[in-house]
């Protein structure tokens, strides 16, 4: 306890943002890395790398990530608003976020807002499209989003200004290799103000009402620093974040009006990630740790409890141990330990104000190569012991990759994964359920990859996921919700991706299609074979980028099918499918070492009225102007 401790946050905004099934359940007013990247890449079962330099720098996080249909991206408002990510038929709590392979999710609330990550700070995004608890531990049932840095070769300055000219303004500044002569360094700072006014439409007792939502204003400021020092004997990295955010929290449309107009959430977050890589060591290869502090102050003057404060400090330490490696065979061992503590005043009755969880784990990766590396077999296993769970938890994964001729490969993979209930799901006032069981899953994938006519990249994947005790938000009555286990859930389907680059990369096209069935697979359940709420059966993504001289034109189309809102699949309780089209036009201006990129974006250009969650309307047509200035050298 003296080595490291965490006073972890526990806060839930009144609309129950993304608990369990990421459904925004409403509770009325209750409200190139040398060795470090090996752990992040060596056993990825279905790994896709997004190189951010390939994209128009004026595209935001959501635009870039939407190039992958298997990602279920939910945006709950305008610029800077809450945005969540889930893989296929899983939910956001089953997704791990990592930086250079170091997990940054917490036991308190694994729910993660992608807007906390500034893509301007990173170079690549690794997406693991299947469960990987054998490497990342609890929570990696759906997949992993890993942000990585590459080598920073030269000095540069970058300034980005985003605005819709009426409601929002975002500034981002980046300095590369300005602070230290003998080490790589990147400093990023950003400021966002959004007054929260965006067009919405909702059904008011049979009449469609067009109005302006004005209860989601946001102020935020963040700064981050990346430091990398490389010598002949070691590599040292340090990544620091600081973020302040103050936002109003709009609720659902209930009884014909916008609810929770008085709700406000204030947050201060600090995080430091450090790692040492001993290049010449044959035993201890890595030593990494995370220290973080989060302060939340949630206020809703329409509640009985007007003000609740949660303070948290989180510290995690883990060491990686390296054993043996040569051309045909390699074995690597890892050991991790961590502690998280929650101290809050809105926990379940009869609970102490302090909750803690200590974790000790060990894992190993084993590789073998045969036939001049045409066949690759990889295995990994992990064992975890948690202080608040009496049993040891074993997770494992394996894959068989066979490389054929003509850039064709076949991948067969399988894994066993798990997730312990979060502190929110177990202890949060009027929502938590202390009887929740850990989630677990068996995940299997068969993937085929090829390059056709040297211009088309084709990937198709068949997948099936058997989930036990999946945690889902369910209504207890008309006013309150709770977290509950679904004893058996089956998710299966097919994912197809097609990409092509033509005319010296002047025309790039990416098409992704996902079809899946996700349903209650418990034969004793009254909802047997019924679809799990809020998971679309089909989704398709079409992205085109056309570059002509100094102009870049990008079109994006995203289609999501219907979703049921209750487990019984009542035909009167579902959300219709929707299609979104976004357009981006950019103009490059180059003057010596100065580069200016001017972009105009029209999001939801057809002004589609849609909802991600029942009674929570999304923005209509919006426009955004972006100025991106860069100075190299």
- pLDDT tens track for 3-32: 333 322 222 322 222 333 443 332 322 223
> pLDDT confidence of 555, banded at 50, 70, 90?
very high
> Which domains, from first to last, does the chain contain?
36-632 (2.40.170.20)
- Are 464 and 479 in contact, with CB atoms under 8 Å apart? no
pLDDT digits (tens, 9 = 90+) for 556-578: 899 999 999 888 998 888 889 99
Question: Can you tell me the mean pLDDT for 615-620?
Answer: 80
Whether pLDDT at 105 is above 60: yes
CB neighbour list of residue 129: distance below 8 Å, 6 or more residues apart: 45, 46, 47, 48, 68, 70, 87, 88, 143, 445, 461, 495
pLDDT at 310: 58
Selection from 76, 120, 70 nearest residue 95 by Cα: 70
Neighbouring CB atoms inside 10 A of 129's CB total 25
Give me the sheet containing 47-51, strands edge to edge: 47-51, 124-128, 143-148, 95-99, 102-103
- List the beta bridge partners of residue 509: 500, 544
pLDDT digits (tens, 9 = 90+) for 228-266: 888 888 888 888 888 888 887 766 666 556 555 667 778
How many helical (H) and strand (E) elements, i.e. helices and strands, does the chain have?
4, 37
User: How is residue 28 annotated by DSSP?
Assistant: T
Question: Can you tell me the mean pLDDT for 580-607?
Answer: 89
**3-state SS record for 326-364:** CCCEEEEEEEEEEEEEEEECCECCCCCCEEEEEEEEEEE
Q: What is the mean pLDDT of the chain?
A: 78
pLDDT digits (tens, 9 = 90+) for 72-92: 777 766 666 677 888 887 888
Regarding predicted confidence, which is higher, 379 or 106? Answer: 379
Q: What share of the chain is helix, strand, coil (3-state, %, to 5)?
A: 5, 60, 35
Selection from 194, 196, 209, 218 nearest residue 257 by Cα: 209
Question: Can you tell me the mean pLDDT for 92-99?
Answer: 86
> HSE (CB half, 13 Å, CA atoms) of 487?
9
- Are 204 and 625 in contact, with CB atoms under 8 Å apart? no
> pLDDT confidence of 479, banded at 50, 70, 90?
low
Selection from 402, 423, 373 nearest residue 109 by Cα: 423
Token digits of residue 542? 């079409």
Concatenating the DSSP letter of every residue in 461-497 gives EEEEEEEEEEEEEEESSSS-EEEEEEEEEEEEEEEEE
Question: Can you tell me the mean pLDDT for 605-620?
Answer: 84
Of the listed ranges 274-288, 496-510, 548-562, 587-601, the least confidently predicted one is 274-288
> pLDDT confidence of 415, banded at 50, 70, 90?
very high
Whether pLDDT at 330 is above 80: no
pLDDT at 314: 66
- Are 160 and 175 in contact, with CB atoms under 8 Å apart? no
Q: Which residue has the tokens 């279905």?
A: 46
- Are 316 and 338 in contact, with CB atoms under 8 Å apart? yes
pLDDT at 9: 26
User: How is residue 436 annotated by DSSP?
Assistant: P
- List the beta bridge partners of residue 498: 458, 511
Q: Is 592 exposed, middle or buried (0-12, 13-18, 19+ CB in 10 A)?
A: exposed
User: How is residue 371 annotated by DSSP?
Assistant: T
> HSE (CB half, 13 Å, CA atoms) of 73?
24
pLDDT at 322: 63
- Are 211 and 201 in contact, with CB atoms under 8 Å apart? yes
Rg, C-alpha atoms of the chain = 24
pLDDT digits (tens, 9 = 90+) for 52-66: 766 666 666 667 776
3-state class (DSSP) for residue 305: coil
pLDDT at 13: 27
3-state class (DSSP) for residue 66: coil
CB neighbour list of residue 352: distance below 8 Å, 6 or more residues apart: none
> HSE (CB half, 13 Å, CA atoms) of 308?
24
Number of residues that this document lists for the chain:
633
Q: Which residue has the tokens 């509950």?
A: 484
**Percentage of the chain modeled with pLDDT above 70:** 76
> pLDDT confidence of 513, banded at 50, 70, 90?
very high
Question: Can you tell me the mean pLDDT for 494-505?
Answer: 87
- What do you get for the CA distance between the two ends of the chain, in Å? 47
pLDDT at 311: 55
Regarding predicted confidence, which is higher, 588 or 33? Answer: 588
> pLDDT confidence of 492, banded at 50, 70, 90?
very high
- Are 199 and 77 in contact, with CB atoms under 8 Å apart? no
Of the listed ranges 110-119, 133-142, 405-414, the least confidently predicted one is 110-119
Distance from C-alpha of 517 to C-alpha of 497, rounded to nearest angstrom: 18
CB neighbour list of residue 270: distance below 8 Å, 6 or more residues apart: 241, 242, 243, 292, 293, 294
User: How is residue 142 annotated by DSSP?
Assistant: S
- Are 50 and 127 in contact, with CB atoms under 8 Å apart? yes
Q: Is 7 exposed, middle or buried (0-12, 13-18, 19+ CB in 10 A)?
A: buried
Distance from C-alpha of 317 to C-alpha of 274, rounded to nearest angstrom: 10
What Cα–Cα distance (Å) separates residue 134 from each residue in 48, 289, 298, 366?
18, 19, 36, 12
Distance from C-alpha of 189 to C-alpha of 208, rounded to nearest angstrom: 41
3-state class (DSSP) for residue 92: helix
pLDDT at 355: 82
pLDDT digits (tens, 9 = 90+) for 214-231: 667 888 888 988 888 888
pLDDT digits (tens, 9 = 90+) for 124-167: 888 888 888 998 888 888 888 888 876 666 788 889 888 887 78
> pLDDT confidence of 516, banded at 50, 70, 90?
very high
Q: Which residue has the tokens 């060491």?
A: 319
């Amino acid at each position: 306890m003296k080595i490291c401790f965490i006073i972890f946050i526990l806060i839930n905004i009144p609309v129950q943002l993304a608990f369990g099934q990421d459904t925004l359940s409403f509770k009325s007013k209750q409200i190139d890395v040398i060795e470090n990247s090996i752990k992040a890449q060596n056993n990825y079962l279905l790994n896709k790398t997004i190189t951010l330099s390939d994209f128009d720098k004026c595209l935001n996080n959501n635009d870039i990530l939407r190039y992958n249909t298997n990602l279920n991206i939910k945006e709950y408002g305008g610029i800077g608003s809450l945005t969540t990510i889930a893989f296929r038929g899983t939910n956001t709590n089953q997704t791990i976020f990592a930086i250079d392979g170091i997990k940054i999710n917490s036991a308190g609330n694994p729910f993660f807002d992608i807007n906390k990550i500034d893509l301007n700070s990173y170079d690549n995004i690794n997406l693991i499209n299947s469960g990987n608890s054998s490497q990342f531990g609890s929570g990696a049932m759906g997949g992993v989003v890993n942000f990585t840095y590459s080598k920073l070769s030269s000095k540069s300055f970058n300034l980005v200004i985003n605005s819709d000219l009426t409601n929002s303004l975002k500034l981002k500044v980046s300095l590369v290799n300005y602070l230290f002569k003998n080490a790589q360094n990147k400093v990023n700072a950003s400021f966002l103000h959004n007054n929260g006014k965006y067009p919405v439409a909702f059904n008011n007792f049979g009449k469609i009402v067009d109005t302006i939502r004005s209860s989601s204003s946001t102020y935020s400021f963040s700064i981050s620093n990346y430091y990398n020092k490389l010598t002949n004997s070691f590599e040292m990295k340090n990544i620091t974040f600081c973020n302040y955010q103050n936002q109003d929290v709009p609720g659902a449309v209930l009884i014909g009006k916008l609810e929770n107009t008085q709700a406000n959430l204030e947050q201060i977050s600090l995080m430091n990630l450090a790692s040492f890589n001993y290049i010449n060591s044959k035993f201890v290869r890595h030593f990494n740790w995370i220290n973080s502090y989060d302060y939340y102050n949630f206020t809703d003057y329409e509640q009985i409890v007007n003000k609740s404060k949660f303070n948290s400090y989180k510290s995690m330490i883990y060491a990686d141990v390296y054993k043996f490696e040569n051309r045909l065979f390699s074995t690597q061992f890892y050991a991790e330990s961590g502690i998280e503590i929650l101290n809050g005043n809105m926990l379940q009755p009869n609970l102490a104000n302090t909750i803690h969880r200590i974790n000790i784990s060990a894992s190993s990766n084993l590789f073998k190569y045969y036939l001049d590396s045409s066949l690759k077999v990889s295995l990994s296993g992990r064992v975890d012991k948690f202080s608040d769970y009496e049993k040891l938890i074993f997770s494992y994964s394996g894959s068989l990759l066979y490389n054929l001729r003509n850039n064709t490969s076949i991948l067969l993979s399988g894994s066993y994964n798990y997730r312990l209930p979060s502190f929110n799901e177990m202890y949060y006032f009027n929502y938590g359920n202390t009887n929740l069981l850990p989630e677990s899953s068996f995940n299997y994938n068969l993937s085929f990859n090829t390059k056709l006519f040297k211009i088309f990249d084709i990937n198709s994947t068949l997948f099936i996921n058997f989930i036990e005790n999946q945690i889902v938000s369910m209504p207890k009555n008309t006013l309150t919700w709770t977290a509950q286990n679904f004893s058996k859930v089956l998710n299966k389907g097919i994912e197809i991706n097609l990409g092509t680059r033509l005319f010296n990369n002047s025309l790039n096209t990416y098409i992704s299609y996902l079809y899946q069935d996700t349903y209650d697979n418990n034969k004793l359940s009254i909802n047997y074979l019924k679809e799990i709420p809020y998971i679309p059966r089909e989704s398709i993504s079409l992205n085109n980028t056309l570059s002509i001289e100094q102009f870049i034109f990008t079109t994006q189309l995203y289609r999501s099918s219907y979703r049921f809102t209750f487990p019984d699949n009542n035909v009167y309780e579902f959300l219709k499918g929707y299609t979104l089209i976004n357009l981006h036009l950019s103009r490059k201006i180059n003057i010596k070492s100065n580069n200016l990129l001017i972009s105009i974006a029209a999001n939801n250009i057809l002004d589609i009225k849609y909802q991600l969650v029942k009674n929570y309307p999304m923005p209509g047509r919006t426009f955004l102007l972006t100025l991106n200035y860069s100075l190299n050298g």
